[in-house]
Amino acid sequence: IQTSYILGPSDEIEINIYRNSDLSRSIAINPHGKVDLPLVGEVSAEGKTVSDFKKELVKQYSEYIVNPQLDINLTSAKNNKVYVMGEVQTQGTLILNGTLPIWEAVIQSGGLTDDAHPNKALLIHPYSTNKNEQVEIVATDFTKFNKQDSTISVALNNGDILYIPEKKISSVERFMSRFSNIIAPIVDVQRMIIFQPQVIDALNNEESSSSSLIVAQ
């Protein structure tokens, strides 16, 4: 999993260069997404997996060392995060190493509360297009994604929000108010009011395991 972790600012890594211990370093990626290393200078790490960054360093050091051999260890993952909210025992942020299966995110959050909907979850995925920032909201059947069923896999990626709703939505206004407050950093609350019917329909849809909604910011 560590090799697939996507590096970013504040992540701490250990770079070991064999037969050149004086070049080895334990270093944090700076706010600009770079590391400053002996011989090669500043190298961009942000957005690269640990594996890809290793390949980049091998390429860079090849200009100074014959057949460089090196390893990179992620010593502190501080950049990639997912958020688990709603009806779980402990709401909050989880540090992400690579991707995180939906069932594992729930387990790491202490499991479901007694009030949790038994088979519904909202997956909120922010992403960028060449025009603007968008958010995809998918209501999905939670029971299909568990540790015992390895044939179906849904994973959370960096920046995703997993929201577990209550068993019954007694008040649409109350649900949308709580839901909007949680995703406010991603989607403008006023825009969520416009899409309120689609979100509720997705949660109440028993015939389809998922539906999606695209919200442009």
Is the same domain home to 188 and 208? yes
Query: Quick one: pLDDT at residue 91?
Result: 82
* Helix, strand, coil shares, percent, the chain, to 5: 25, 35, 40
Q: What is the CATH number of the domain that holds 145?
A: 3.10.560.10
Is the same domain home to 65 and 87? no
CA distance 180 to 201: 16
**What is the extent of the structural domain holding 71?**
2-76
CA distance 206 to 69: 55
Query: Quick one: pLDDT at residue 36?
Result: 96
Which H/E stretch holds residue 53? helix 50-61
* 8 Å CB contact between 70 and 17: yes
* 8 Å CB contact between 30 and 17: no
Query: Quick one: pLDDT at residue 1?
Result: 44
Is the same domain home to 112 and 191? yes
| pTM, 2 dp | 0.56
CA distance 217 to 20: 49
Is the same domain home to 95 and 68? no
* 8 Å CB contact between 120 and 141: yes
Is the same domain home to 20 and 109? no
Span 156-188, pLDDT tens digits: 877 788 888 887 765 666 667 766 666 665 555
Is the same domain home to 46 and 72? yes
Q: What is the CATH number of the domain that holds 17?
A: 3.30.1950.10
Is the same domain home to 101 and 123? yes
Between the CA of residue 118 and those of 109, 139, 177, 193, what are the distances in Å? 16, 13, 22, 26
Is the same domain home to 13 and 34? yes
Tell me which residue of 18, 53, 21, 55 sits closest to 38, measured CA to CA: 21
Q: How many separate domains does the chain show? A: 2
Q: What are phi and psi of 28, to 5 degrees?
A: -100, 140
Query: Quick one: pLDDT at residue 83?
Result: 83
Q: At what angle do helices 172-183 and 196-204 cross, to 10 degrees?
A: 110
Sites in the chain below the pLDDT cut of 70: 1-2, 4, 79, 97-98, 118, 126-137, 142-153, 169-175, 178-217
Q: Write out the two tokens for 93.
A: 């942020």
Query: Quick one: pLDDT at residue 60?
Result: 95
* 8 Å CB contact between 11 and 74: yes
Name the domain boundary from 23, 52, 76. 76
Query: Quick one: pLDDT at residue 40?
Result: 95
Is the same domain home to 48 and 86? no
